[in-house]
């Protein structure tokens, strides 16, 4: 597919690249003709004894060939570089569009992986397009042209080149395969590093709370060191490729020189023919040497293209074995509001399934708590329920209608969500509480704060509800930020409430007071609780245990 599809998909870059290759081929062919003229001129001057004025025509023609060759060489590199720049710009725009669409659809992997793909992978195509592809084209054409010229001059030397050429290509392929494998592994590692760094940055506040920032620093240091070593392996293999090709080309040239010299001494070859063959032979190996020097860029570019293609068309996740969910059958006297039917889901950046064959029902006005070990899929259920992720298998229905892109916005308008790590603006307390309802009155904002047990905290602030809390609630503690997010959700007054570890950073006394205050508020709502603490679970009508074989009402 590459580079054929590459050249087909970008006509302007294709024309510039073909023009660059034509300039390079023309320059090399002119140099081969100039070499033949030089050999003939030297033989005519020193062997045949011709005067310099008789050779003036040859000198003039040689000078013209050099001038035209210089012009072609001057045009070759800028044309190739322009083609590379145009295609990389178009490709980067396409990849950014794909990354933005996936990030908007909730694909978190696209956000982290796109940095490596749009940056490093696309930049690696600079050498692939600007130097490797022209070198590859010239290596396929020029040795054939030089072989034909030598065959017309001295057919016996052609046998040596016929053996040496395929041997060099075989060596280049064997060593180059190692370079390609290392480059592919390097791009995979770079993508993984991007995801790691993004996760560490997102969880930096949590790491500091638990005093684990030093562990994160060690992880960054270790992974960066490993990536540096993998990069050096790629370069070391590339240098080995050039070294082997140089040795082989030098040895083949020396072999031609030996056999030509022996026949010249024996009188079986004229001086003009011998000199022509000796001058043309390096031109046979020159494009192969250039290809070897640029082979690293070619293999790195090929690995980058593979990475880009995988980013454009990610492989589907394999099916996973069923996962049992323990729960008691819901009360059939009430109409089901939320139904999970055989839902399965695998995160794009993981191999193991987060959820498999998940089925349960939540009736209208019911409060359920999701129980299970950390990493068991509770937060994933929340993402699916809010439509930020879509099931790989199975279905989610809301009041009998499937949850899909056509219905998700209407469904979200019925949900108030309190995440574990809420996002707060650098604005006043009142503005943060009223984020979802900017038209709320001061009395409504104060009522929501009272229900969230935040009114006393606000009263102690310098300017009360008008106090600026700083970026992401810098002036508030973790528990105060969670209660502010709860007040924001209560102010929305939505029929469905999702609470994700909303008391995780509260002390026992504050938690008890908060639960006592909001219990009446939750009574007429459908509530999904995600919590590891025992006290909030007592608010639940049912506890659904994820990944268990038995369970039920608690």
Q: Let me know whether 379 and 467 are in one domain.
A: no
Q: Please state, in angstroms and rounded to a whole number, the distance separating the CA atoms of residues 422 and 486.
A: 9
pLDDT score recorded for residue 324: 43
pLDDT score recorded for residue 323: 45
Q: Please state, in angstroms and rounded to a whole number, the distance separating the CA atoms of residues 235 and 50.
A: 53
pLDDT in tens, 315-368: 554 444 444 444 433 343 444 588 899 898 888 777 778 888 888 888 888 888
| 3: preceding bond cis by omega (within 30 degrees) | yes
Between 38 and 93, the more confident residue is: 38
**176: left (phi > 0), else alpha (psi -120 to 50), else beta?**
alpha
pLDDT score recorded for residue 68: 94
Between 327 and 396, the more confident residue is: 396
Average pLDDT, the chain: 78
pLDDT score recorded for residue 67: 94
DSSP 527: E
Give the CA count within 13 Å in the CB-facing half-sphere of 9.
12
DSSP 116: I
CA distances (Å), origin 134, targets 77, 143, 288, 354, 517: 9, 14, 12, 47, 74
End position of a domain, from candidates 280, 312, 344: 312
Are 469 and 476 in contact by the 8 Å Cβ rule? The answer is yes
* Residue 38, domain member (yes or no): no
pLDDT score recorded for residue 140: 84
User: What's the structural domain count of the chain?
Assistant: 3
Residue 113 pLDDT grade (very low, low, confident, very high; cuts 50, 70, 90):
low
End position of a domain, from candidates 448, 477, 492: 492
Residue 185 pLDDT grade (very low, low, confident, very high; cuts 50, 70, 90):
low
CATH of the domain at 234: 1.20.1560.10
User: What radius of gyration, in Å, describes the C-alpha atoms of the chain?
Assistant: 36
Q: Let me know whether 156 and 179 are in one domain.
A: yes
Q: Of 119-123, 338-342, 377-381, 489-493, which range is least confident?
A: 119-123
Kind plus residue range of the DSSP H or E element containing 542: strand 542-546
Closest CA to 499 of 357, 369, 304: 369
Residue 2 pLDDT grade (very low, low, confident, very high; cuts 50, 70, 90):
very low
Q: Let me know whether 486 and 507 are in one domain.
A: no
Q: Let me know whether 348 and 483 are in one domain.
A: no
pLDDT score recorded for residue 92: 82
Closest CA to 482 of 540, 530, 444: 530
Q: Please state, in angstroms and rounded to a whole number, the distance separating the CA atoms of residues 157 and 3.
A: 34
Are 87 and 304 in contact by the 8 Å Cβ rule? The answer is no
Q: Please state, in angstroms and rounded to a whole number, the distance separating the CA atoms of residues 511 and 127.
A: 60
* Residue 58, domain member (yes or no): no
CA distances (Å), origin 509, targets 89, 341, 500: 58, 39, 20
Mean of the pLDDT values across residues 115-128? 75
Q: Domain containing 483: what range?
A: 425-492
Q: Of 82-86, 246-250, 478-482, which range is least confident?
A: 246-250
Q: Let me know whether 199 and 301 are in one domain.
A: yes
pLDDT in tens, 362-374: 888 888 888 877 7
pLDDT in tens, 472-513: 666 778 788 888 989 988 898 888 989 888 888 788 888 888
Give the CA count within 13 Å in the CB-facing half-sphere of 305.
19
Closest CA to 153 of 301, 299, 319, 278: 278
Closest CA to 287 of 25, 17, 467, 551: 25
pLDDT score recorded for residue 1: 39
**139: left (phi > 0), else alpha (psi -120 to 50), else beta?**
alpha
Give the CA count within 13 Å in the CB-facing half-sphere of 200.
17
Q: Let me know whether 391 and 507 are in one domain.
A: yes
Q: Let me know whether 304 and 229 are in one domain.
A: yes
Three-class secondary structure of residue 265 per DSSP: helix
* Residue 134, domain member (yes or no): yes
- Does 441 have pLDDT greater than 70? yes
- Cβ partners under 8 Å of residue 210, min gap 6: none
Q: Let me know whether 238 and 332 are in one domain.
A: no
Kindly state the percentage of the chain with pLDDT values over 90. Answer: 4
Q: Let me know whether 234 and 346 are in one domain.
A: no
End position of a domain, from candidates 442, 467, 492: 492
* Residue 325, domain member (yes or no): yes
Q: Let me know whether 360 and 296 are in one domain.
A: no
* Residue 1, domain member (yes or no): no
CATH of the domain at 408: 3.40.50.300
Q: Please state, in angstroms and rounded to a whole number, the distance separating the CA atoms of residues 301 and 391.
A: 35
For β-strands 367-371 and 542-546, DSSP reports them as: parallel
- Does 244 have pLDDT greater than 90? no
Q: Please state, in angstroms and rounded to a whole number, the distance separating the CA atoms of residues 500 and 529.
A: 6
Mean of the pLDDT values across residues 261-265? 86
Residue 177 pLDDT grade (very low, low, confident, very high; cuts 50, 70, 90):
low
* Residue 29, domain member (yes or no): no
Mean of the pLDDT values across residues 153-178? 74
pLDDT score recorded for residue 326: 42
Q: What is the four-CA torsion angle of 297, 309, 123, 14, rounded to 10 degrees?
A: 80
Are 2 and 302 in contact by the 8 Å Cβ rule? The answer is yes
pLDDT score recorded for residue 189: 64
Three-class secondary structure of residue 497 per DSSP: strand
Mean of the pLDDT values across residues 24-50? 87
Q: Please state, in angstroms and rounded to a whole number, the distance separating the CA atoms of residues 192 and 320.
A: 23
Mean of the pLDDT values across residues 446-469? 87
* Residue 384, domain member (yes or no): yes
Kindly state the percentage of the chain with pLDDT values over 70. Answer: 79
DSSP 1: -
Q: Let me know whether 452 and 522 are in one domain.
A: no
Q: Let me know whether 152 and 297 are in one domain.
A: yes
Three-class secondary structure of residue 339 per DSSP: strand
* Residue 454, domain member (yes or no): yes
């Amino acid at each position: 597919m590459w580079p054929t599809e590459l050249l087909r998909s970008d006509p302007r870059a294709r024309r510039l690249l073909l023009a660059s290759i034509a300039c390079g081929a023309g320059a090399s062919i002119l140099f081969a003709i100039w070499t033949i003229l030089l050999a003939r001129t030297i033989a005519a001057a020193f062997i045949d004894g011709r005067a310099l004025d008789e050779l003036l025509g040859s000198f003039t023609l040689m000078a013209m060939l050099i001038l035209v060759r210089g012009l072609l060489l001057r045009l070759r590199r800028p044309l190739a570089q322009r083609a590379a720049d145009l295609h990389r710009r178009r490709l980067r725009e396409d990849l950014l569009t794909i990354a933005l669409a996936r990030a908007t659809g909730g694909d978190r992997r696209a956000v982290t992986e796109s940095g490596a793909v749009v940056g490093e992978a696309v930049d690696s195509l600079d050498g692939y397009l600007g130097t490797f592809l022209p070198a590859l084209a010239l290596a396929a054409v020029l040795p054939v042209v030089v072989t034909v010229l030598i065959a017309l001059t001295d057919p016996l030397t052609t046998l040596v080149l016929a053996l040496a050429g395929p041997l060099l290509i075989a060596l280049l392929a064997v060593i180059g395969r190692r370079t390609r494998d290392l480059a592919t592994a390097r791009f995979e590692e770079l993508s993984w590093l991007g995801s790691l760094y993004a996760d560490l940055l997102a969880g930096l506040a949590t790491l500091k709370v638990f005093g684990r920032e030093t562990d994160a620093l060690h992880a960054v240091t270790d992974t960066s060191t490993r990536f540096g070593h993998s990069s050096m392996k790629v370069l070391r293999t590339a240098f080995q490729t050039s070294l082997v090709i140089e040795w082989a080309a030098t040895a083949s040239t020396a072999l031609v020189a030996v056999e030509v010299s022996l026949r010249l001494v024996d009188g079986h070859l004229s001086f003009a023919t011998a000199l022509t063959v000796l001058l043309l032979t390096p031109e046979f190996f020159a494009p192969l040497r250039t290809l070897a020097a640029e082979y690293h860029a070619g293999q790195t570019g090929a690995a980058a293209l593979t990475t880009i293609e995988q980013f454009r068309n990610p492989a589907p996740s394999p099916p996973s074995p069923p996962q049992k969910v323990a729960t008691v059958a819901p009360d059939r006297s009430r109409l089901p509001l939320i139904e999970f039917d055989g839902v399965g889901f695998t995160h794009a950046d993981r191999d193991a399934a987060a959820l498999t064959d998940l089925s349960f029902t939540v009736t209208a006005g019911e409060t359920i708590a999701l129980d299970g070990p950390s990493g068991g899929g509770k937060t994933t259920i929340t993402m699916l329920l809010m439509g930020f992720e879509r099931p790989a298998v199975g279905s989610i229905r809301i009041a009998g209608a499937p949850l899909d892109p056509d219905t998700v916005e209407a469904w979200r308008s019925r949900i108030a969500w309190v995440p574990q790590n809420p996002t707060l603006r650098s604005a006043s307390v009142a503005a943060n509480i009223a984020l979802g309802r900017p038209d709320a009155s001061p009395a409504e904002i104060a009522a929501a704060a009272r229900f969230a047990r935040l009114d006393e905290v606000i009263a102690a602030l310098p300017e009360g509800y008008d106090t600026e809390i700083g970026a992401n609630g810098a002036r508030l503690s973790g528990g105060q930020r969670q209660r502010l997010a709860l007040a924001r959700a209560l102010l929305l007054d939505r029929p469905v409430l999702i609470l994700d570890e909303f008391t995780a950073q509260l002390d026992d006394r504050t938690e008890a007071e908060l639960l006592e205050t909001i219990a009446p508020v939750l009574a007429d709502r459908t509530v999904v609780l995600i919590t590891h603490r025992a006290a909030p679970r007592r608010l639940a009508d049912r506890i659904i245990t994820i990944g268990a074989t038995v369970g039920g009402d608690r």
